[in-house]
A and B are shown apart, each in its own frame.
Chain A
């Protein structure tokens, strides 16, 4: 029952994303100052090459000569049919370039999350188990790291690994070496918070009566951890990951722009800069849909880990 409500809510969010992005980008097109068609044509062909013929062509193509409401409805109608139009700059279908970008973004996000897990889980567990100076150092490091926006972490990584040590390429894509710095940046910024969550949860479980009893009844430390620790710790950690998803998505936008990684975030920032409205709409829509879908996955994971159906994120 709870699960059904939750999925319904996520479905509602999916619709809301489509409507919200569609409406905002529609407003965006209407808000272009001056003659819209002329401005868009100028964006497409360059300021010097534009003339009234080109503007007329654009006006016809985008239906700018019709009333606001009818344009709005047909805009939303197109959106629902996943007809995202062509990029104003390159002229290619938006949905095609979106699929291309999606692969790159998912690769980056996946690598970043994996790296974050590899960093945060051992550190969090160690600091909960050991405590003392290790905990103190990690707390200070995490606090400092959290004060740095993700693009600053990336910039520092570029300065250290690419410019000073010459180990890795500054930006771009293609070889595995290009993935290292962006993924490391994302991983570090996620791990800065995640290791504290793992620490708190691990400490809670280690001090819980049931855990103490598991050891008293004769299980070894390792057995107690595997049988009674892991699952109890993982529910809040996974739920927290749902909260952190927003950091992932925002981090991906910033990191892709910084490293010229050809993903959706990079596409979005570029489209905004070039005022390429169909691409803005497509990229924002894709990020929104991805966000909702990932949230749904986290919900399902929490449900599976804790069938009691406790507090879901």
Chain B
């Protein structure tokens, strides 16, 4: 009985780590492609060549060219770089803010907790995409406005998880005794809170990155996000759609790229924290 329990749990953990590993490798490959291409390629994402539009992939342009004869290999890398940078910035910002405020809410005076609870209720009252859409409308086509809007929504997830974990641990005997021994707040954080929070952060960050990328692509898709001629995945999907019957591979490229990035993030995140 005990043996079978052990073996199944071992199988399930190794399965989870395999899928997580796949996600990490895939994400790494995509990052290398996105960030190394501008260094290695002499092509430029904006230069048009109208005598060679919608061309099939060949030795010169590896992914073919789009409706303005722009090189897709470079443009796709540009779009991915934009999405990945946005995701990284949003994850970093919202994680730092969320974890800090979460610990403050759990360990600080109760009015801090109540205030922050009110703030999150306020923000969560509006669907995230609608909030981002309004922000995007204030300064159209701005990368930084999107960044602010997405981070404004995403810190809440980190905040909630951190607060829940810290609240549980703050009542535990080991933290109580640490406190009685006179250890300071920073020691408590480093020794007790952080080790409990950190494993959750990977999952949160992966799903957060995926949703940031999706959010940005969604805005590009309804034409209120990043503006042309910049390459952005959602925007490219709309731009290429009219050429579907002539060049289906052109439409497929941003679709596949988007799906791959999001899939790699989801795989990396593993099972969503329950």
Which A residues are within 8 Å of any B CB, using their own CB? 9, 12-14, 16-17, 20-21, 24-25, 27-28, 31, 143-144, 146-149, 151-152, 155-156, 159, 163, 246, 249-250, 253-254, 257-258, 268-269, 272-273, 275, 280, 284, 287-288, 291-292
Contact = CB atoms under 8 A, between A and B. Distances in A.
Contacts of B199: none
Nearest to A200: B274
Contact of B138 (A27, A146, A152): A27
Given A144-B263, A149-B214, A253 B221 contact: no
Contacts of A253: 129-130, 133, 218, 222
A182 to B, nearest CB: 15
A143 B133 contact: no
Contacts of A144: 263
B139 A20 contact: no
A35 B128 CA distance: 31
B89 to A, nearest CB: 20
B129 A24 contact: no
A146 B211 CA distance: 11
Contacts of B260: 147
B218 A254 contact: yes
Contacts of B218: 149, 151, 250, 253-254
5 contacts: A9-B121, A14-B125, A144-B263, A159-B244, A287-B130
Contact of B133 (A149, A152, A269): A269
Contacts, number: 117
Given A147-B259, A148-B259, A280-B137, A257 B221 contact: yes
A13 B122 contact: yes
A163 B121 CA distance: 44
Counting chain B CB atoms within 10 Å of each CB, the highest count among A27, A143, A148, A151 belongs to A151
Counting chain A CB atoms within 10 Å of each CB, the highest count among B118, B131, B214, B244 belongs to B214
Nearest to A257: B222
A155 B255 contact: yes
Interface string B217-257: 11001111000000000100100010011000000000100
A98 B240 CA distance: 32
